[in-house]
A and B are shown apart, each in its own frame.
Chain A
Amino acid sequence: MKAVLTVTQLTKTFGGLHALDGVDLTIGRNEIVALIGPNGAGKTTLFNCLTGVYIPTGGSVEITSPEGHTTRLNGLKPDKVTSLGMARTFQNIRLFQNMTVLENVMIGRHCRMHAGIPGAILRNARTRREEKAVIDDSYRILENFQLDRYVNEFAKNLPYGAQRRLEIARAMATEPFLLLLDEPAAGMNAQETKDLDDLIVRLRNKEEISILLIEHDMKLVTSLSDRIFVVDYGRKIAEGTPAEVCCNPVVIKAYLGEEIDA
């Protein structure tokens, strides 16, 4: 399988603290991979290193686009990473609260648009066409995510589940081939989690993208993912299919601690 993301020996230290300590990770085309681990294991740090929020201390991050271009991401700014085709959502929802739902998605289209300041002021034919296209595209994306009835609503007024969906919709608007979801099911009830499950599967099948997700809901993780990576204390401690990982003694130890009489 061709890899879209290759992480080798990724290290990130904060002062003397090794938040990530030589992590290796690969994600193939059209694959759903879950990243799990106890709280503070370094999952979100890994995400931030991948997306350019943090600059890794060592190791390398490379993505390969479907066209076959490989780019090294170390030290690139988050906006560059996104325009290269890797989008993300956030653990604590970071929508543009005081903008409408449609505008949130339109922001996602930003990096695929070209109009500059002169274009905005003169509003020439090209800018008008682009503007019309972005409104139509954004609306279509909202329809796909069943958010079209909220089009002109402020993002902050949406119900919680819809806000989570909107975050994914906004990320999808940047046309990624690799989507990073940071605890997408956090705070959701059983029904909402079920809907999210369907949504992610549908995204993978329809849009043909790869997905890397951090998640604590093991039911969701096992039903969704092709492979699971387990990290603890900044190191990868296990990887494999859901079945393999679930009965791996190292993983059980990391989560539950050691049995006394073992």
Chain B
Amino acid sequence: MSEISEHKILFGWEEIKKSLLTCIWFMFLTFPIMVIQVNTIHRTVEWRWERLFFVGAGAFLLSFLWRYMIRRKEAGIKREETAQNTHQDLLQRLLSNPRFSRPALAVAVLFFLTFPLVFSLYQIDIMTTALIYVVVALGLNIVVGLAGLLDLGYVAFFAVGAYTYALLNVHFQLGFWICLPIGGALGFLFGVLLGFPVLRLRGDYLAIVTLGFGEIIRLVLENWNEFSFGPSGIANIPRPGFMGMDLALHQNHTYIYYLMVGLTVFTIFVVRRLQDSRIGRAWTALREDEIACQAMGINKTRTKLSAFAIGATWAGMGGVVFAAKTTFINPASFTIWESVIILCCVVLGGMGSIIGVVAGALVLKLLPEYFRAFSEYRMLVFGTVLVLMMVFRPSGLISSVRRVYRFEGRNKLEGQP
């Protein structure tokens, strides 16, 4: 019974009528440019009526599809409101089911471990870049997804990490492995530095200030020639050495790849633990309600600063690996556009959800590489996907789920359901 009524809702006459109206309106609007063509040489007017049909059919289909999807979404929300919080979509159910998730995890591990043995150097390179973005996006996820602080200048910390390695190497010949923790530490420091002035801000104001901070870092790097070598950047940054051995190019790329896999696993491990801890709960509470959060005895200053600083640490480390991988950096690599892409990884993947962010970063960095043939339409597709995602799946590819605590023993004792 309910199924029938649902169908009625999804395929209502109302939708068809509205779609027809939309289609007529579009035919009318596009009539002068799509149908009439004046041939100025022969002084004739061509009437291309078949085009009117295509416009009409296309507009009708798209409009109907749009309305159908909106209806479906609303029906879904209604169902969610009436159901318990156990309601999850298919992907989440699969992921939380150990019978699916364990083999999936095993396949993923096997895939990433054997990747360099199977694929070409080019592929390894793409995957390494994607993994750097995974780590950096996981860092931003702490700031944006968990603590709810919109940071539009996040790439600044990435730049800090990259320049840390490049400059320390140029001036002091420090190696990669020493610079990795130093890059992380400097990222932390800059996170605190940015955190202090923005402690009182939230929402739009915070976004603007962080945007400014990101630009300041880039402009300093671009213009302070004595310090950063200006727009020409720093070249010949050494790749990481493996116990003092000089590696061939292919070996070296494979080495950086495995290093990134390791760093990614480490990041996921740490972020997971932080998320499930007292600190992580405080971040989430800060996101939910700042005033109530303080009234519960949470120190707002420390919580905000720690979110900024820890998020920035991962960007710093990611930056060090980035510099070592590309062997050349200049300020052009750290524009606002990069911040936006990293933010998109977090939002598209699912704010606050680790696996979502990993998926988001991989999708956003890998797909453009594999669809190079359509690179002219990249921005168009990117924009469309973003709009559609935000309308139909605002919580991202794989949305975050709150941890469920079990008290079965106690419930049984008291005869609770």
Residues of A participating in the B interface, judged by any CB pair closer than 8 Å: 51, 53, 77-79, 82-83, 87-88, 90, 94-100, 102-103, 106-108, 110-113, 115-117, 119-121, 123, 127, 130-131, 134-135, 139, 148-149, 151-154, 157, 170-171, 174
Contact = CB atoms under 8 A, between A and B. Distances in A.
B284 A99 contact: yes
A120 B371 CA distance: 41
Nearest to A111: B297
A103 B276 CA distance: 11
B278 A113 contact: yes
Interface string B297-312: 1111000001000100
Nearest to A139: B407
Nearest to B405: A102
B88 interface: no
Contact of B270 (A83, A121, A130): A121
A78 B291 CA distance: 9
A132 to B, nearest CB: 11
Nearest to A112: B297
17 contacts: A79-B295, A82-B294, A82-B295, A90-B295, A94-B289, A97-B289, A99-B288, A103-B403, A107-B296, A110-B282, A112-B297, A113-B278, A115-B277, A115-B278, A131-B278, A152-B404, A170-B296
A79 B294 contact: yes
Count chain B CB atoms within 10 A of each CB in A96, A98, A135 and give the residue with the most: A96
Given A90-B291, A117-B306, 8 more contacts: A88-B295, A100-B402, A107-B282, A107-B296, A123-B273, A135-B405, A152-B405, A153-B85
Interface in B8-40: none
A31 B256 CA distance: 67
A82 B297 contact: yes
Given A117-B310, A120-B279, A149-B416, A107 B299 contact: no
B295 A99 contact: no
A78 B295 CA distance: 6
Nearest to A122: B273
Nearest to A116: B279
B310 A96 contact: no
Nearest to B300: A79
A130 B294 CA distance: 21
B293 interface: yes
Nearest to B306: A117
Interface in B86-133: none
B263 to A, nearest CB: 15
A175 to B, nearest CB: 10
A127 B273 CA distance: 11
B339 to A, nearest CB: 25
B84 A110 contact: no
A151 B298 contact: no
A96 B298 contact: no
Interface in B236-291: 270, 273-274, 277-282, 284-285, 288-289, 291
A200 B233 CA distance: 67
A88 to B, nearest CB: 6
Contacts of A154: 85, 402
B417 A149 contact: yes
B292 interface: yes
A99 B275 CA distance: 13
Nearest to B269: A121
B410 interface: yes
A98 B285 CA distance: 9
Contact of A79 (B278, B280, B298, B405): B298
A107 B299 CA distance: 12
A117 B279 CA distance: 7
A131 B277 CA distance: 8
Nearest to B410: A139
Nearest to A83: B297
Contacts of A113: 278
Nearest to A120: B277
Contact of A99 (B285, B310, B410, B417): B285
